[in-house]
Amino acid sequence: MILRTLFIAGFLLTATVSTGQNTFGGGGSSTSANSVFNQKMNLGYKAGANRVEDKKIDGSPYLFENWDRAATVVTKAGENLKIENVNFDGRRNKIVAKINKDSIYTFNSLAVDKAIINGKTFVNIESPNSAVIKVYELVVETPEFKILKDHVVDINEGSSNPMRGTTVARYIPREFYMLLKKDSFEKFSLRKKKVLKLLTAQEEKVKTFVDKNDLNYKNEEDLNKIMEFYTGL
């Protein structure tokens, strides 16, 4: 199965919450997200949009350059929140929503099952190697394994060396692929040899399919086509 990988209007974050055929807020209309969060569960918390450290650092800790995008947040209770102005904070590893220019809402990872932002699916994963829970982008999912992408933002500290001149700190985005199996969780690379090792039982058929359709193992879209073919065998 391939999952692809959350609406704020004016100064209020609004949302529509659906459970089965019932819509929280009545008659299918949206309601204040603050009201939803307060009445349904502890989904997160609000904070200032511009932290002190942000003002002194070049770049951005957020994955998407602009916030003008619709998204869906699926809670652990199975509710779907239709939301705008959502992003992923790679520095804090959190799904966030901009309420206005001065406020950011941070979703509680323990209350959210997944978030679909700009066609990308973000899921909470607990590593079998430890008790750590992090948010990863879901790239590929099969009954046997998941391939995830870890979006990380580090800070390259600036220098105040008077001989070289002052340089400001800068956000440095990085990403790593991870392979999750039932009992293991490790770094992974989208190389032909690595991918085919996961598909040993049908390796020759997969290689023929890839060659015939001129697919690239390193391309995520192509990789999903390969996995669709593999799981259908």
pLDDT at 211 over 90: yes
The average pLDDT across 128-134 equals 80
Task: List, as one string, the DSSP characters of 39-104.
Answer: HH---EEEEESS-HHHHTEES-SBSSS----EEEEEETTS-EEEEESEEEETTTTEEEEEEETTEE
Spell out the domain ranges in the chain: 8-188, 189-233
How many CB atoms within 10 Å of residue 187?
9
The Cα–Cα gap between 16 and 74 comes to 11
Give the per-residue pLDDT at 133: 87
Least confident range of 42-51, 187-196, 213-222: 42-51
Chain centroid, CA 16 distance in Å: 21
Instruction: Work out the mean pLDDT of the chain and round it to a whole number.
Output: 78
For 86-117, what is each residue's pLDDT tens digit? Answer: 899 999 999 988 877 777 888 888 888 999 99
The average pLDDT across 187-197 equals 96
pLDDT at 69 over 80: no
Q: Which is more confident, 191 or 166?
A: 191
Q: Read off the pTM.
A: 0.78
Give the per-residue pLDDT at 105: 83
Give the per-residue pLDDT at 1: 41
The average pLDDT across 22-42 equals 40
pLDDT at 130 over 90: no
Q: Which is more confident, 154 or 20?
A: 154
Structure confidence at residue 55 as a pLDDT band (50, 70, 90): low
Structure confidence at residue 140 as a pLDDT band (50, 70, 90): very high
Q: Which is more confident, 140 or 4?
A: 140
